[in-house]
Chains A and B, each alone.
Chain A
Amino acid sequence: MQLALNELSAQHLTAKPLAKAALHAVTLSVRDGEQVAVIGPSGAGKTTLLHVMACALRPSAGSLTINGQAPWRLSATGLRNLRAALFLAPQVPPLPPRQRVVTAVLAGRLPQQSLWASVRSLFYPSDIALAERALARFGLADKLFERVDRLSGGERQRVGLARVVASQARLLLIDEPLSALDPTRGEQTMTALTALARERQATLVTSLHHVELALRHFPRIVGLRDGQIAFDLPTAQVTAEVLQALYAQHLHELSGAATLAPLQPPDEVRPVAMHCR
């Protein structure tokens, strides 16, 4: 699925009407099957951008088209069908605590399932093999029948991502998939996500704090700062200077970018000459 945002502005999800816009005049287009990483300091508007793309937030100005259609002009059924074809994974895993992992993962199929099949699946999960395959991609196959609240934070996040495998979405919008994961797990999860998107030829847009991982796994990086696009470049052109300009005043968030050279190299400290008197 292809996306096109044109001079789009949007308010934050819980903002008052006269508050400052979270996104301002954003112009972005994503081709079918492309994989894009959105990076930027906290408060830049990454979550708002993903919610706008997922038709979960109405833009206050500008236009959004998905596959050439304006989603907010569609009928209720049309909008629902569009939402069924995309997958928004929020930052906090959307899992009810007392639900079992198998049901939580199979909930990804709900848009394509009839009501009766969903009710039957509640009593006895109808495609346990699918849930197991989905969890195995993220290293959680042994947690198939566990309850969600018995898992750790990182495991819950990966279960939320495993739902993507059960869905049939062609547009994947993932908000901070690695926030609760250690570096090894983060690497594995990112590999699994990008491989899945490539297999399905689905468009993948992810927001990330881990700049290093973004540079390693994605061919295109979009930098967001204070609600505006700072840059939109192929990964090879994203240098340390570009990153430092993006994260200026937030440099502590730019951790793990080991190839960064500091702006001002520290002066050579010359030893003080000791004069013995």
Chain B
Amino acid sequence: MPPHKLLTAAAQTTAPSHRDPAWSRRLSWSLAALVLLWPMLVLTEFKPWLLVDPASLNPTLHFLGDFLPPRFDLPFLALVARETWRTVAMATAGLVLALLLAGPMALLSVRALSVSALSGRMALGPAALRQAVRWTLVLLRSVPELIWALVFVRVVGLGPTAGVLAIALTYGGMLGKVYAEILDSGETHATNTLLRNGSGRLQAFLYGLLPQNGAELTSYTVYRWECAIRSSAVLGFVGAGGLGQQMDASMKMFSGSEVATMLLVFMALVWLADRISAWLRRGLG
């Protein structure tokens, strides 16, 4: 029997109790998503076929041709190496500060460490505190780091400090939220039992939540470090120094070959972050 005939036969002979109850809900949500997507595509003038239009293909190829060959002479490579080190240092310092900010806030907002929630509903005071911490995290990450960098450049002057502070604030908000979500969505049985047997909250975190979710927390943090490197490139455009500032200067002088070298360095950094994450996950997992 051909497959489509089998399906219709099966549908006809399906008893009402054998119909999938989730199907109608899934279908309606998918249709709703498509209905919402259509006006968005129209509004953003989504016309990908224009990319391969002959009129636009010529300038694109000309622009890309400027990037080759990448500039590989030694003095320039030395400059790129120095700026790369500055960018990585900016990203790492920013992320460490973000961790110092996000760690305590994530612990304050995690439901799994609530003692009052062990035996029923959470008490009002602790619930209000957790909500307040969540709102602070939302506030920290809702301002784009470019805006923070522009503000800090006015306060502390040009240079990497502005970039570090901007990354610290925004990434603190992001890391705090995702850490709290990872800790709450993991298995909390071990942590609950430790709290029920009278251990302190931080002890329950160190002996229960942390070993349970260590690998996810680490891989997310390394991913965010990689994002911080890209962010510090963007922040370089507003004066925070590093590889981004160099790229801005090269683009203004239309030297595509220098930009190409720096992009290759970026790809190498992202690849390095990927390897570190895989190695850490293997070590912890």
Q: Which residues of A contact B (CB under 8 A)?
A: 54-58, 76, 80-88, 90, 92, 94-99, 103, 107-108, 110-111, 113, 115, 118-119, 122, 167, 169
Instruction: Report if A84-B119 is in contact (Cβ < 8 Å); known contacts: A94-B192, A95-B190, A98-B284.
Output: no
Of B119, B120, B190, B200, the residue contacting A96 (CB under 8 A) is B190
Q: How far is the CA of A92 from the CA of B187 in the complex (A)?
A: 12
Complex-state Cα separation, A95 to B191, whole angstroms: 9
Given contacts A58-B120, A90-B189, A98-B285, contact A84 B203 (CB under 8 A): no
Is B158 engaged at the interface, CB distance under 8 Å to the other chain?
no
Q: Which of B115, B119, B207 contacts A107 (CB 8 A)?
A: B207
CB pair A119–B206 under 8 Å, yes or no, is yes
The residues of A that contact B198 with a CB separation of less than 8 Å are: 80-86, 110-111
CB-nearest residue of chain A to B204? A110
- Residues in A with CB closer than 8 Å to B200 are 110-111, 115
Q: Mark B221-255, 1 if CB is under 8 A from A, else 0.
A: 00000000000000000000000000000000000
A56 touches B212 (CB 8 A): no
Q: A133 to B204, alpha carbons, bound, how many Å? A: 24
A138–B215 alpha-carbon span in the complex (Å)? 31
Complex interface: chain B residues within 8 A of A113 (CB):
203
B203 A110 Cβ-Cβ under 8 A: yes
Question: In the complex, A54→B203 CA distance in Å?
Answer: 20
Compute how far the CA of A85 lies from the CA of B199 in the bound complex, rounded to whole angstroms.
11
How does the 8 Å CB contact mask read for B206-222 relative to A, with 1 for contact and 0 for none?
11100110110000000
A55 and B119 in contact, given A98-B214, A98-B215 (Cβ under 8 angstroms): yes
Known: A57-B119, A80-B198, A98-B285. A122 touches B190 (CB 8 A): no
**What residues on A are CB-neighbors of B118 within 8 Å?**
56
B202, CB-defined interface residue at 8 Å? yes
Among residues of B, the one whose C-beta sits closest to the C-beta of A11 is B120
Instruction: State A87–B196 Cα separation when bound (angstroms).
Output: 8
With both chains docked as a complex, state the minimum distance between the C-beta of B203 and any C-beta of chain A, in angstroms.
5
The residues of B that contact A90 with a CB separation of less than 8 Å are 189, 193
What are 15 inter-chain pairs, A to B, with CB distance below 8 A? A56-B196, A83-B197, A86-B197, A87-B197, A88-B193, A88-B196, A94-B189, A94-B190, A96-B187, A96-B208, A96-B212, A98-B212, A98-B284, A110-B199, A167-B197
Q: Which residues of A contact B120 (CB under 8 A)?
A: 58
- The answer for the CA separation of A113 and B198 in the assembled complex, in Å, is 11
Confirm or deny: B138 has a beta carbon within 8 angstroms of a beta carbon on chain A: no
Is the CB of B89 closer than 8 A to any CB of chain A? no
11 other contacts beyond A57-B119, A94-B190, A103-B207, with CB at 8 A cut-off?
Answer: A54-B196, A55-B196, A56-B196, A58-B119, A80-B198, A86-B198, A94-B208, A96-B208, A107-B194, A107-B199, A110-B203
Contact A84:B190 (CB < 8 A) given known A99-B211, A103-B207:
no
The 10 A-B residue pairs with the shortest CB-CB distance, nearest first, are A84-B198, A94-B193, A83-B198, A110-B199, A111-B198, A96-B211, A96-B212, A99-B211, A94-B190, A110-B203
A81 to B115 Cα, complex, angstroms:
13
Q: Could you tell me the distance in whole angstroms from the C-beta of B64 to the nearest C-beta in chain A?
A: 47
Distance in angstroms from B92 CB to nearest chain A CB is 24
Nearest neighbor of B212 in chain A, beta-carbon distance: A96
Contacts of A97 in B (CB 8 A): 212
Whether the Cβ atoms of A111 and B192 lie closer than 8 Å is: no
Q: Are B119 and A80 closer than 8 Å at their CB atoms?
A: no
> In the complex, which residues 159-215 of chain B have their Cβ closer than 8 Å to any Cβ of chain A?
187, 189-190, 192-194, 196-200, 202-204, 206-208, 211-212, 214-215
Q: Which residues of B contact A167 (CB under 8 A)?
A: 197
* Mask: chain B, 266-278; 1 = CB below 8 Å from A; 0 = not: 0000000000000
Chain A residue at minimum C-beta to C-beta distance from B207: A107
B residues less than 8 Å from A99 (CB atoms): 207, 211
Q: Once bound together, how far apart are the Cα atoms of A169 and B199, in whole Å?
A: 12
Distance between Cα atoms of A95 and B212 in the complex (Å): 9
Give bound CA distance, A56 to B198, whole Å: 11
Q: How far is the CB of B197 from chain A (nearest CB, A)?
A: 6
| Contact flags B90-124 to A (C-beta < 8 A → 1, else 0) | 00000000000000000000000001001110000
CA distance A165 to B194 in the complex (A): 15
Distance in angstroms from A13 CB to nearest chain B CB is 9
CB distance from B177 to the nearest CB of A (A): 23
A80-B115, A98-B285 as given contacts; A88 in contact with B197, CB under 8 Å: yes
CB neighbours of A95 from chain B (8 A): 190
In the assembled complex, how far is the CB of residue A175 from the closest CB belonging to chain B, in whole angstroms?
A: 11
Say whether B197 contacts A84, CB under 8 Å.
Answer: yes
- Expressed in whole angstroms, the minimum distance between the Cβ of A56 and any Cβ of chain B is 5
| Nearest B-chain residue to A164, judged by Cβ | B197
Cross-chain contact B202 with A115 (CB below 8 angstroms): yes
Smallest beta-carbon distance B116→chain A, Å: 8
Who on chain A is nearest to B209 by CB? A96
What residues on B are CB-neighbors of A56 within 8 Å? 118-119, 196
Residues of B within 8 A of A80 (CB): 115, 198
**Residues of chain B from 118 to 144 with CB closer than 8 A to chain A in the complex:** 118-120
Q: Which residue of A lies closest to B121 (CB)?
A: A58
Residues of chain A contacted by B197 (CB below 8 angstroms): 83-84, 86-88, 108, 110-111, 167, 169
